[in-house]
Chains A and B, each alone.
Chain A
Amino acid sequence: MSVVRLPGLITTDDRVSGPPSRWDYAADRTFRALAQTGVWLILILLGVILWEIGGKATAGIRDYGLGFLTSTTWDVGRQQFGILPHIWGTLYSSLLALAIGGFFGVVMAIFLTQDFLPPQLAQVFRTVVELLAAIPSVVYGLWGLFVVVPALRPVAGWLFETLGWIPLFGTTLSGPGLAPASLVLAIMILPTVAAISQDALRLVPYKVKEAAYGMGTTKWEAILKVMLPTAATGIFGALVLGFGRALGETMALAMLIGNSSQISLSLFAPANTLAALLALNFPEAGKREVEVLMYAALVLLAITLLVNMAGEAIMALSARKTKS
């Protein structure tokens, strides 16, 4: 809206709206160019990162090929490397953490936004939940080591004795392992998922909720059948971010996963993840090991890509189902 001055004609307010001025058009074009630059910067950033990692990884890829993905030895002395246990551990721990943290995060979000608590109290808890995202992962690692592992040990022992024939509980918990790591990871991503889901739910227009109640739904019917589907894309975004965080988490997992190159279905066995592998070995790695670690980093990015694509496919399928 440009300002057109008509002195003398209008006494109270000289501003009258008119067509955009030349300055407005110029500002418009600049802004759009800036926005496009922002998008290109993201693409360039990813490109540069891939180029950096890929550049260092090519030697590793050339020498180890696809066998890298299926071998289970990691022996620096004999220059034999394989990341199958790490891929397994990454997927197992992250998906488990996403299932637990994602579920509880969304439930928390519903709990805090759908009038289960007085509004001021809900706001306080919302802030507290967001704060938890600020706790450094080292602290989560320490908490896991000093609180979660001792607390889990008796439970794990009981499960092993009574249900040990189920592969999930096939070993005892000798200290760090998959279960403590996944639990702590779930706690770490819960604030992210909860905070973004809360926003998604609060952005659902009030009219939609009122319409549902007007039709006579119970509170939960309104939530499950109307609010959640409307907020679905936002909640899905929350899950994507949470999953990304779970995949890339290094410090806390390094302390809690047990770092053993075994593949086991048991929740209590030690395992290993790609991110922890990178964090623990990169500082001391020699040239050859760096190449191999960069190869592993590429694999991790590829996994993120694949799981995200799978998630989007699932969302698209369910959207099609609700539409039809």
Chain B
Amino acid sequence: MSRSIEQIERRRALVLLAPATLWTVLFFALPFGVMAVISLGDGAAVGRSPAGYAGNYLRFLNSPEFVQAFVNSLEITLTVTVLSVLLAYPLAWIVAEEIPARYRRLALALAVLPFWTSYVVRSYAWSLVLAKQGVLNDGLEAVGLPALALGNSRAAVVIGFTHFFTMLLTLTIYSSLVQLPPNLRRAAADLGAGPVAVFRHVVWPMTLPGVAVGAFLTFALCIGDYVTPQILGGGNDLALPQLVMLQLGRAADLPMASALSIILMAAVTLAYLLTARFMRAVR
């Protein structure tokens, strides 16, 4: 009995898919499920959450400090996303359009070189720059400007994040820009459109999907980050990941930590759905 070609191909495909799928199920989906189940459980021995399956989530909603941390995370992340796009787009555009082809890759490489310092150390370096007697204030005072109290604050966290994500977005927006077919722009120019109009009606709409994906990536990475707020925040305006680590480390409250993480995931999923819908609308 001979098998049809499709059956052979399907069996082959399944064999090829097996390792990746098994890994994702075993080490991603399953742990996530375990965490979700644990988040429904009771907290540390002294049951700080109300009883019942939704206990930890109810505690989240009823605790101003948890809700505030969530709001902080959202505010910081949205600010960082907008700022990073605003800073990265012109840079990507200049590198893609204005810089001669020979130096383009070098310019891009230079723009993202600090990527290669350790993430932890880079945040620490910002704390040195923004300290009360740090480099920034020394520079400001040298030119006669008043010193800024940026250290240990939400501003410092936003600056640290924006620094990282500007570099990331420069990469993604640049690759979006260079993939544009040049004929479209030439055609628009031939039809009499000035450079601003070409940008508004051709370049921007066509790079929008790339920007949207980059922005979503920024949102997802930024809202879940623990290192930068911990190093630059000085214990002010706590973000949600910091509260998760607090529950994990000090309170040994694994169920609450799990519940908070799931709430974080929900925010990212919502952002994903919004981005997907936006991309469909734009296309």
Do A and B bind?
A: no
Residues of A at the B interface (CB closer than 8 Å) are none
B interface with A by C-beta (< 8 Å): none
